[in-house]
Amino acid sequence: MLDQVPTLLEKLFLGPSVPRRAALAQHAPRKWIERVQLAEFQSTLERVNTHSKFYRERFAERGINVRNVKRPEDLGDFYTTSQNLRERDTLEFVCCPPQAGFETTGTTAKNKRLYFSNEEVHDIGFEGAVGLWNLGLRPEDRVVDAFDYAFWNAGISLMHSLNAMGCFHMIASKLEPAEFYRRVRDYEFNVMVVDTAWLVSLTEIAERQGTWPVKFILSGSEAMSDRTRKWIEGVWNTKVYQAYGQTESLGASGIECPAQKGYHLNEANFIFEILNPNEEGFGELVFSTITRKVMPLIRYRSNDITRFLDEPCGCVLQKLRRIDAIQGRGDEIISCGMGMISPWIFEKLLAADARITDDWQVAVTQPESRDIIEIRLEVRDGAGGSSRELASREAALRQRFAEIFPYYQKNLQMGMFDLKVQWLPHGTLRGGGDGGRRKLRRVVDERLAPSLRGASPLAPRWSATPTSGDQ
């Protein structure tokens, strides 16, 4: 009972006040934050052990007595993975009847489903409001969001954040950038919350036709290069901030502050860890939900590579831990202007052309502001063909892309990315020597993050020691 005192005092003192929460975050002792987290974590373990078939069985298999677990590290090499969520019945994770559900999009043949209560959606929105308050959002501001609402949680979480703030808000959803530009100007919105790649297309229009006064822009869904951020900030004459999150975390689990130096983490709802950090501290981000009742996740491996930042930033959220910009993925799933992409998508796309070898690769590059999806294809010996034949095959490939992936085709038409096809002689991608024996990575991110410059597209960029836990 004594362990629950910090949580009870927090709720009684704060109530539904965003400014109070921000003030508490600025002055709360670090030990107090950690004590609240661990109390909630232990309660969550008891809940999943009692009500979740998946966790109850896994704990029993591993001989884990949850009453002996005080912190996440006590679970050793036990983790929850995205593979678990895809392969097991979602209801095995559920502890009580859900009221809301969302899906991940585009990463595998089977999308992951996540369930929540209405209260959980509200609470995560409230914490998001604190991050927005830190960026300068106030009740008198006028906000428009252009998130896609289809099966995705980002827009719903944002709506609850804005309700907590009490400011005027309109949902534009994922309109064509040109239509958005035409329709929203008269509303005098001074804050925009948008998809990163979509923002590039909107900014190109605004650069030609003019902007309006904007207090700040918040972007999400994928990372933005420093070069692109500076260009957008220059066009709009304002600051562009980024949020970090996943569907599994119910939206933004981290948000930048005015210093734009990493993401402050939502430590009211999660405990975060870095798995297998290298000498620079980079490793895989792992999180445990500590306030969810419907579908808690214990030590969920995000596959995102980052590190904790220790140097203070000076903002009101400085007592909350920060992570660096996401440096890449521990698997072959990449968030980019096309959306969330993985090898499965391109395996389906390329299956119809028998003249393509089994060695192919898709690279995400960003020579300017827009992502380019470059499909590198090796043709079988004797099947190269003339330039005209290759052009015809590329046209057929693009037509098939539009037919089987209408969601991605819409993003292409909106200018959120460009698609490029490169034909290569057989044997090019693997090369000779040692390179010929390496596993060929199907999907690679070649946008130049500072810590990745010079890295080979054929080799892993981090040495992450596999664990013997649930993979």
Residue pLDDT, tens place only, 84-126: 999 999 999 999 999 999 988 644 457 889 999 999 999 888 8
Higher pLDDT, 161 or 335: 161
Q: 246 by DSSP, 3-state: which?
A: strand
* Exposure letters 378-403 (e unless 16+ CB within 10 A, then b): bbeeeebeeeeeeeebbeebbebbee
**Going by DSSP bridges, is the β-strand pair 322-323/263-265 parallel, antiparallel, or unpaired?**
antiparallel
Residue 249, pLDDT > 50, answer yes
Higher pLDDT, 317 or 151: 317
| CA distances in angstroms from 341 to 41, 106, 237, 259, listed in the order given | 33, 6, 32, 30
pLDDT at site 335? 84
Structural domain tally of the chain? 1
CA distance 390 to 422: 10
Note whether residue 324 is domain-resident.
no
Is the separation of the CB atoms in 441 and 49 below 8 Å?
A: no
* Residue 447 burial (CB count, 10 A): 21
Q: Output phi, psi for 49, to 5 deg.
A: -65, -30
Mean pLDDT (whole number) for 331-335: 77
User: For residue 71, what pLDDT band results from cuts at 50, 70 and 90?
Assistant: very high
Is the separation of the CB atoms in 273 and 71 below 8 Å?
A: no
Domain that holds residue 350: 336-448
User: What are the tens digits of pLDDT across the range 392-426?
Assistant: 999 999 999 999 999 899 999 999 999 999 999 87
Could you tell me how many helices (H) and strands (E) the chain has, helices first? 13, 21
Note whether residue 406 is domain-resident.
yes
Domain harbouring 408, CATH code: 3.30.300.30
Note whether residue 92 is domain-resident.
no
Mean pLDDT (whole number) for 325-337: 79
Residue 1, pLDDT > 60, answer no
| CA distances in angstroms from 328 to 11, 282, 377, 429, listed in the order given | 37, 10, 23, 21
Note whether residue 363 is domain-resident.
yes
CA distance 60 to 78: 12
pLDDT at site 34? 94
pLDDT, the chain, mean: 85
User: For residue 369, what pLDDT band results from cuts at 50, 70 and 90?
Assistant: confident
Note whether residue 360 is domain-resident.
yes
Q: In what order do the strands lie in the sheet with 356-365?
A: 417-425, 371-379, 356-365, 443-445
Residue 77, pLDDT > 80, answer yes
Q: Output phi, psi for 284, to 5 deg.
A: -85, 130
Higher pLDDT, 459 or 138: 138
Mean pLDDT (whole number) for 337-348: 84
Note whether residue 341 is domain-resident.
yes
User: What are the tens digits of pLDDT across the range 273-326?
Assistant: 999 888 889 899 999 999 999 999 999 999 888 999 999 898 989 889 999 988
At 437, which helix (H) or strand (E)? none
pTM of the model: 0.78
Note whether residue 230 is domain-resident.
no
DSSP one-letter string for 169-181: EEE--S--HHHHH
Mean pLDDT (whole number) for 236-262: 92
Note whether residue 344 is domain-resident.
yes
In DSSP terms, 116 is beta-bridged to: 100
